[in-house]
């Protein structure tokens, strides 16, 4: 539903401009405050206008139940002796136009309802609006149009009331991240998409909407998700989703947004925890024959996968890391690869390029994108969209159970098991920290991992390591 706009205010003021939903001036001079949500229908009658207003302001900042409120206009009277064949001209055309404006603004169908009166029935036209949107909008109007609300309610005390701070909007938090976060465009897009999905799944508009109950429901929904192979999403992936949500909220604090609200929300997000990883993870390094079976099918049926398979094995990368590879990571004059990888900090990745990998890289056409693997839209490929093709490829190769990470396991295993190759070089090829080696030294001399790279190539392409 679209965000409520100015025309709504007139309809929410109520009959004859005497009340806003939840706050009414009774004939006996007292103010009636009706609480929303779980207390809906409970009324407080307060003779002191200032106290009534304070109560009402506090009420608009609460978390209402997810119910619908019928926002409507009286558009006509239906007399008791109504003749359908000869209807009288009783419609208020101006009111009908306002009701139709609600329909256009909210992008929902206009609803018609009748209510009994002494002389017949009253016809109302309007739309059903989620109560939380109604209250968020009313709260906003009190901050931005206080004098108008005071005039409509005939309640001067509104002008003297101390307003609570408006709840921080999730849209403002996301906008701050998108505008000021100093990260790669791809990372920013992925984090933003996760946050937008989070807002949609929780139906939250502000930080105040993120109650512990709402966050726990979101947590359980994420935990129940399946990956492209129909298997439960790994705890690491789930924690990455939660980390992005928390990270964007925390980033807003660095941009001067309300620190108190952000800290309170972050304390509630402590319930966003991934389940413990109880899987028994056994590395299953891909064999030489299996790898070449995949490579053959890729070359014949899925050409874009040939380079991916070679890069994953040659550089010892996960599939998603292979899609992150950029042209600037390669030095073709020295036939070396060097980049940084996010894994609990910035970790140097280094490798020497095999002749097989070099040949296929040079055959890939360059585009304006920094990425080596670019979709038809000119953007980096999304790993999620590759599962169907990968499944077809491995099935055609007669390897329906082989996993993408088996290629990385194969490279790491071959480097670790090769005689004469120090463990620290195998670890460095795999992107693990290696004691005694400084990142800045590796960045200046990526060829330091040549023994490990040669050992992997010997295991899959040659009898002896390349000299």
Q: What is the pLDDT of residues 174-213, one digit of tens each?
A: 999 999 999 888 889 999 999 999 999 998 888 988 988 8
Residue 76: what pLDDT? Answer: 73
Q: Which two tokens stand for residue 23?
A: 């706050």
Percent of the chain with pLDDT over 70: 66
Burial class (CB in 10 A: 0-12, 13-18, 19+), 357: buried
Closest CA to 336 of 347, 344, 348, 318: 348
Is the confidence at residue 458, as pLDDT, over 80? yes
Calpha distance 137→464 (Å, rounded): 73
- pLDDT tens track for 61-75: 544 455 566 666 677
- Sorted by where each begins, the domain ranges of the chain are 7-160, 170-271, 288-460
Residue 144: what pLDDT? Answer: 75
Residue 200: what pLDDT? Answer: 92
Q: Is 59 helix (H, G, I), strand (E, B) or coil?
A: helix
Identify the CATH assignment for 288-460 out of 1.10.260.40, 1.10.443.10, 1.20.1250.20, 3.40.50.2300.
1.10.443.10
Spatial neighbors of 215 by CB under 8 A, at least 6 apart, are: 202, 268, 269, 271, 272
- Please state the separation of Cα 28 from the chain's center in Å: 51
Residue 438 has, within 13 A of its CA and on its CB side, a CA count of 3
Calculate mean pLDDT across residues 163-177.
86
Backbone angles phi, psi at 347, to 5 degrees: -120, 130
Element (H, E) at 288: helix 288-301
Q: How many CB atoms lie within 10 A of CB 252?
A: 24
Is the confidence at residue 56, as pLDDT, over 80? no
Contact assessment for residue 248 and residue 173, using Cβ atoms and an 8 Å cutoff: yes
Residue 439: what pLDDT? Answer: 59
Q: Where does 324-405 show beta strands of DSSP type E?
A: 330-331, 336-342, 346-352
**Average pLDDT value over all residues in the chain:** 77
For tokens 């996010």, name the residue: 342
- pLDDT tens track for 417-450: 888 888 887 888 887 765 555 556 566 677 788 9
Secondary structure (DSSP) of 294-329: HHHHHHHH-HHHHHHHHHHHHTT--HHHHHH-BGGG
Residue 368: what pLDDT? Answer: 84
Closest CA to 402 of 283, 239, 275: 283
Closest CA to 27 of 45, 7, 14, 8: 45
Element (H, E) at 251: helix 235-254
Residue 110: what pLDDT? Answer: 74
Instruction: Give the chain's length.
Output: 467
Closest CA to 315 of 449, 187, 435, 424: 449
Residue 384: what pLDDT? Answer: 72
Bridge partners of 34? 43
Calpha distance 297→280 (Å, rounded): 31
Residue 104: what pLDDT? Answer: 67
Residue 15: what pLDDT? Answer: 38
Greater confidence, 93 or 135? 93
Is the confidence at residue 215, as pLDDT, over 90? yes
Q: How many CB atoms lie within 10 A of CB 37?
A: 15
Calculate mean pLDDT across residues 343-368.
83
Percent of the chain with pLDDT over 90: 32
Bridge partners of 85? none
In which band, very low, low, confident or very high, does the pLDDT at 241 lie, cut at 50, 70 and 90? very high
Spatial neighbors of 301 by CB under 8 A, at least 6 apart, are: 393, 396
Contact assessment for residue 46 and residue 23, using Cβ atoms and an 8 Å cutoff: no
For tokens 């972050």, name the residue: 266
Calpha distance 423→315 (Å, rounded): 16
Calculate mean pLDDT across residues 352-364.
93
Greater confidence, 318 or 107? 318
Burial class (CB in 10 A: 0-12, 13-18, 19+), 352: buried
- pLDDT tens track for 366-416: 888 899 998 887 788 877 778 889 999 999 999 998 989 999 999 999 988
Pairing of strands 111-117, 68-79: unpaired
Residue 421 has, within 13 A of its CA and on its CB side, a CA count of 25
Bridge partners of 122? 77, 115
Is the confidence at residue 18, as pLDDT, over 70? no
For tokens 């590759």, name the residue: 386
Task: Report pTM.
Answer: 0.48
Task: Give, in order, the Cα–Cα distances in Å from 382 to each of 139, 187, 374, 375.
Answer: 41, 12, 10, 9
Greater confidence, 420 or 168? 168
Residue 429: what pLDDT? Answer: 85
Residue 208: what pLDDT? Answer: 84
Residue 54 has, within 13 A of its CA and on its CB side, a CA count of 9
Q: State the DSSP code for 467.
A: -
């Amino acid at each position: 539903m679209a965000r409520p706009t100015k025309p709504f205010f007139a309809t929410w003021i109520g009959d004859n401009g005497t009340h806003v939903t939840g706050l009414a001036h009774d004939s006996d001079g007292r103010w009636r405050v009706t609480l929303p949500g779980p207390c809906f229908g409970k009324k407080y009658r307060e003779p002191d206008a200032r106290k009534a207003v304070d109560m009402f302001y506090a009420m608009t900042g609460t978390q209402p139940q997810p119910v619908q409120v019928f926002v409507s206009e009286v558009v006509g009277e239906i007399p008791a002796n109504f003749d359908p064949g000869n209807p009288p001209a009783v419609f208020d055309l101006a009111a009908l136009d306002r009701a139709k404006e609600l329909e256009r603004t909210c992008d929902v169908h206009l609803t018609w309802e009748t209510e009994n009166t002494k002389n017949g029935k009253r016809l109302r036209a309007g739309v059903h609006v989620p109560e939380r949107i109604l209250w968020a909008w009313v709260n906003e109007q009190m901050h931005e149009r206080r004098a108008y609300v005071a005039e409509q309610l005939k309640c001067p005390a509104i002008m003297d009331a101390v307003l609570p701070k408006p709840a921080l909007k999730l849209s403002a938090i996301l906008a701050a991240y998108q505008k000021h976060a100093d990260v790669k465009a791809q990372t920013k897009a992925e984090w933003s998409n996760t946050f937008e999905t989070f807002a949609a799944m929780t139906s939250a508009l502000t930080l105040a909407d993120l109650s512990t109950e709402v966050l726990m429901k979101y947590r359980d929904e994420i935990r129940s998700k399946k990956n492209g192979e129909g298997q439960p999403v790994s705890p690491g992936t789930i924690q990455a989703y939660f980390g992005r949500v928390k990270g964007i909220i925390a980033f807003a604090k660095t941009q001067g947004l309300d620190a108190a609200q952000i800290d309170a929300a972050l304390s509630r997000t402590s319930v966003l925890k991934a389940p413990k990883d109880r899987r028994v993870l056994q590395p299953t390094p891909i064999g030489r024959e299996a790898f070449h079976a995949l490579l053959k099918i890729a070359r014949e049926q899925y050409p874009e996968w040939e380079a991916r398979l070679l890069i994953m094995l040659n550089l010892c990368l996960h599939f998603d890391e292979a899609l992150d590879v950029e042209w600037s990571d390669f030095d073709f004059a020295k036939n070396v690869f060097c980049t940084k990888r996010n894994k609990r900090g910035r970790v140097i990745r280094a490798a020497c390029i095999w002749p097989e990998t070099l040949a296929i890289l040079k055959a890939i056409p360059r585009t304006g994108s920094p990425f080596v693997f670019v979709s038809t839209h000119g953007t980096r490929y999304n790993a999620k969209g590759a599962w169907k093709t990968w499944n077809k490829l491995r099935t055609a190769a007669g390897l329906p159970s082989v996993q993408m990470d088996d290629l990385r396991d194969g490279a790491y295993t071959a480097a670790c098991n090769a005689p004469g190759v120090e463990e620290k070089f195998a670890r460095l090829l795999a992107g693990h920290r290696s004691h005694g080696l400084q990142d800045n030294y590796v960045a200046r001399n990526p060829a330091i991992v040549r023994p490990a790279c040669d050992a992997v190539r010997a295991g899959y392409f040659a009898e002896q390591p390349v000299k």
